[in-house]
Amino acid sequence: MRYARMWAAACTTVLLLGLGARGPATAQAPPKVSIMVGGLEKIIYLPAMLTQRLGYFTDAGVNVTLLNEGAGVQAEDEMIAGRVDGTVGFYDHTIDLQSKGKIIEAVVILDRVPGEALVVSNRSGIKGLADLKGKRIGVTGLGSSTNFLASFLVTKGGGSQGEYTPVPVGAGNTLIAAMQQGRIEAAITTEPTVSRLMKMGVAHVLVDMRTAAGTRGALGGTYPAACLYMKADWVTGHRDAVQRTVAAFVRTLGYLQSHAPAVVADKMPEDYYVGDKPLYLAALGASMNMFNPSGLMPPDGPPTVLKVLAAFNKDLDPAKIDLRKTYTDEFVRAAMKMKK
């Protein structure tokens, strides 16, 4: 027994020395981060799945779990409730939530335009924004970014937030069915749903926010959209995990600038093509300019988003919003330095 105890003690000493030699970084498991995405299959949120498929989260030393939710507002609710650590959704939610007393930070900006379009049914008779009053407009969910954009466009057309009916229809097949069945006359949606509707002859684009020029024309300026946002106190308490996650996303944004759409499309799950890869590839090709090359917040972006939200939401007082608390470029800048 005496020799057995001596042998066990010796083995323990060797094990501890071995861990010490490797250092604490390799002795510990990588930090875990759970991220809910408001529609993983949407091209606007493509950087999330692409980062995972490329193995960049693993390379950055972070264990990221991606979860799917059809609408950004539901993904946001999961994060606020503490059931996930972060959300890939639209930046405008950070402003909306601050007006409700919650401080949320965008830590990397993935898209520099919304990537959305206002599509109208070919049977609707809608010719311009003034015709949206009294109409049923499809949105991903009530309180979603698509709901925000619909409200703004109705207001821009001379109506008000209460002069149209937002109908939560999600995206993809559910939205298409709603329009075919006449349950909605218009919708705010993304690719590849926009291209599918047009190919089917169901709808056409009335307002295009898939390009920088179209976005400026519709919304009056730069409108940063898809991003990774988290509760500010979670960011403060998990800086290493956030930095690793952001570094992986920044690497993916660089990949999107240096690879052709066909190469990118081949990295995505086959079911994202919805049985029509040529259409998906065409939609992706037309969307490549949407992705933010750097991950940094465009300087004129936050004021434009605040102006859009305040235009239809009379409960949101711009004077009480501190835009500096809605995002941080700190982690992106650190990731950029790491690449040099």
CATH 2.60.120.650 fits 26-113+224-339, yes or no: no
pLDDT of the residue at 75 = 77
Min mean pLDDT across 50-54, 139-143, 269-273 is at: 139-143
Q: Dihedral of the CA atoms 339, 292, 321, 231 (nearest 10)?
A: -60
- What pLDDT digit, counting tens, does each position of 286-340 carry? 999 999 999 999 999 999 999 999 999 989 999 999 999 999 999 999 999 987 6
**Tokens read off for 248:** 């992986």
Structural contact between residues 119 and 150, judged by C-beta atoms closer than 8 angstroms: no
Domains 26-113+224-339 and 116-209 share a fold: yes
User: How many Cα atoms within 13 Å fall on the side-chain side of residue 308?
Assistant: 33
Q: Would you place residue 274 in the very low, low, confident or very high pLDDT band (cuts 50, 70, 90)?
A: very high
| CATH pick for 116-209 out of 3.40.50.10190, 3.40.190.10, 3.40.50.620, 3.90.180.10 | 3.40.190.10
Q: Report the b/e string of 73-93 with b at 16+ CB within 10 A.
A: bbbbbbbbeeebbbbbbbbbb
Going across the sheet that includes 104-109, the strands are 63-68, 32-37, 86-90, 226-231, 104-109
Q: How many residues are given for the chain?
A: 340
Residue spans per domain, the chain = 26-113+224-339, 116-209
Amino acid at 164: Y
CA-to-CA dists, residue 50 to 33, 232, 253, 272, angstroms: 16, 26, 10, 12
- What pLDDT digit, counting tens, does each position of 182-229 carry? 999 999 999 999 999 999 999 999 999 999 999 999 999 999 999 999
- What pLDDT digit, counting tens, does each position of 109-167 carry? 999 999 999 999 999 999 999 999 999 999 998 888 999 999 999 999 999 888 999 99
pLDDT of the residue at 77 = 83
- pLDDT tops 90 at residue 179: yes
Mean pLDDT (the chain, rounded): 90
Min mean pLDDT across 14-23, 139-148, 261-270 is at: 14-23
